[in-house]
Chain A
Amino acid sequence: MGMEEFVFVGQEWWGWIIAGYLFLGGLAGLTLPIAYYYWVREKNRAMSLAGGLASFIAIVVGILLLIIDLGRPQNVMAMFTSPKLNLHSWMTIGTYIIVLFTIFSGLYTLPFIPGLGLLRKREYRKYITAIGGIAAFLGLATAAYTGFLLAAARGVQFWNTPLLPVLFVASAISSGLCLYCAVVSPILLKTSPSFREAAVRIRLELQRLDAYVIIGELFILFAYLNISLWGSPGARESALRLISGDLAAAFWIGVVIAGLIVPLLILLGYTLRRKEESTPVIIMSAIAGWLTLIGALLLRYLILHAGVIPTPIT
């Protein structure tokens, strides 16, 4: 036997909880920069409040999921106090990024809370803009890190590619955009009169971008599967599980069709053509948004679950 042979053992350690964490990290990470964009461009307070809050809640829930998944939570403080802290580990880098992101997204959102009166003073605005810039950057870093975390896990060859962070960021952008269309916008339409005037324009902007991102994500996803098929034995095995194996139904129907193609068709065929916020448009936008969000969660779960460790036997 000159050639090495492998048996493939399914990765069973990271499941739904970590998938939820990766999903929420990406979602929170991209929701804030979108809010920030509308603050810088047109001082849209309603979006900063809603987006900032959503982002803050999402990242806090994400951190809780991460802690729930720990086998030895009694030692969690070792992430901050260990004398041997490993700054080269993506787990360490990521922990510090999300902690800082949580703080900055909270700080950014605070002044938008009505009644605090912090926005009344014009000179405060430049501080808000600065803090928001840092928060937006940390958000992007959070989304990217969720991919780098997996890419560095050498046991699971399917994850060992820089395309994975790219895929996760694309999916996170789409998730962030959809959170506005599915959740934020319907709430703001009811509660914020100033938002109502801008609602159509903002929705069209977000959905137009989303359509491009979904198309890009489809390309990245197929590139990822393709290089995996031609890559190392474990990557190939995992890709086959998604394409034609035990996970194919969930992957094609759940992720590709329901999570990407159907929302894209709804955007291109209906909501992007309507220049009003009527009930059917709101409902269709919400459907497209929720499908995207569920698809993004499922994508992460399936990428985790498809992971195999190719144990060498010779």
Chain B
Amino acid sequence: MPRYGFVINLSTCIGCGACVAACTEENTQVLKELSDEASVPLGGRRDIRVVEDGKFPSVLRISYHHTCMHCEDAPCVSVCPTGASYRTDEGTVLVDYELCIGCKYCITACPYNARYVNETLGGPDKCTMCYHRLKQGLLPACATSCPTDSIVFGDLDDPNSEVAKLAKHAIPVGASLGTKPKVYVIPP
């Protein structure tokens, strides 16, 4: 089984938000299958947020990618009472709306604040790695839309994959939180 993950290259990311728009468009179509009115709000599943740090003249401007880390020790999965939040064999963390009661425990359990309440569905929503696309052999929408190819997706266990090579020199996001995240960044 592959072990999918992302490497995000912040040294080439220009913060244009094309990935966010692509994500919203792609996944709104997916949520429509659950409910006609459902949509993914811009920045709901993935977001580019600019943070300024420090004081003039040494201001640090970081645009960080806010998304689900598909943690290997995912707290959202371990707190979910009904098993609605679960991991697939590929290690993708998903929500099964047939079982979700909308208690929001998974949202308070996620140390990356990666989940939000989708108002129409009344339950949590978050990045799925475009699981529906993976099943068709396609890349996640964000990765295909990036003009500078700063989002690299693939099998972290395949030593020949670009993502695995890059991950060797990249930093797992918030590794100190101890959830074994599968999103890495190359710092700016």
Contacts and interface: CB of A to CB of B under 8 A. Distances in A.
A226 interface: no
Contacts of A1: 60, 187
Contacts, number: 143
B105 to A, nearest CB: 5
Q: Output the residue of A9, A89, A157 with the most chain B CB within 10 A.
A: A89
Given A70-B102, A71-B117, A155 B82 contact: no
A91 B99 contact: no
Interface of A: 1, 4-5, 7, 9, 11, 13-14, 69-73, 75-76, 78-79, 82-86, 88-92, 95, 149, 152-157, 307, 309-314
Contacts of A153: 75, 79, 105, 108-109
B122 to A, nearest CB: 3
Contact of A84 (B99, B107, B109, B113): B99
Q: Output the residue of B99, B100, B103, B104 with the most chain A CB within 10 A.
A: B103
Given A72-B121, A314-B62, A314-B64, A86 B108 contact: no
Contact of B101 (A7, A79, A83, A311): A79
Contacts of A92: 81-82
30 contacts: A4-B175, A5-B51, A11-B108, A13-B108, A72-B97, A72-B121, A72-B122, A72-B123, A73-B102, A75-B82, A75-B98, A75-B100, A75-B101, A76-B101, A78-B84, A79-B81, A82-B99, A85-B81, A85-B82, A89-B78, A90-B79, A91-B103, A91-B105, A149-B105, A152-B109, A309-B110, A309-B112, A309-B113, A312-B112, A313-B62
A169 B79 CA distance: 22
Interface string B31-64: 0000000000000000001010100000010101
Interface string B86-118: 100000000001111111110111111100010
Nearest to A150: B108
Contacts of A152: 79, 109
Given A311-B113, A313-B51, A314-B187, 16 more contacts: A1-B60, A7-B51, A72-B122, A79-B82, A84-B99, A89-B78, A95-B81, A152-B79, A155-B108, A155-B110, A309-B112, A311-B174, A312-B173, A312-B174, A313-B49, A314-B185
Contacts of B177: 154, 312
B176 interface: yes
A273 to B, nearest CB: 45
A72 B86 CA distance: 17
A69 B82 CA distance: 16
Given A89-B78, A155-B110, A4 B123 contact: no
A4 B174 contact: yes
B124 to A, nearest CB: 8
B180 interface: no
A165 to B, nearest CB: 16
Contacts of A79: 81-82, 101
Contacts of A314: 62, 64, 171, 173, 185, 187
Interface in B113-162: 113, 117, 121-123
B101 A70 contact: yes
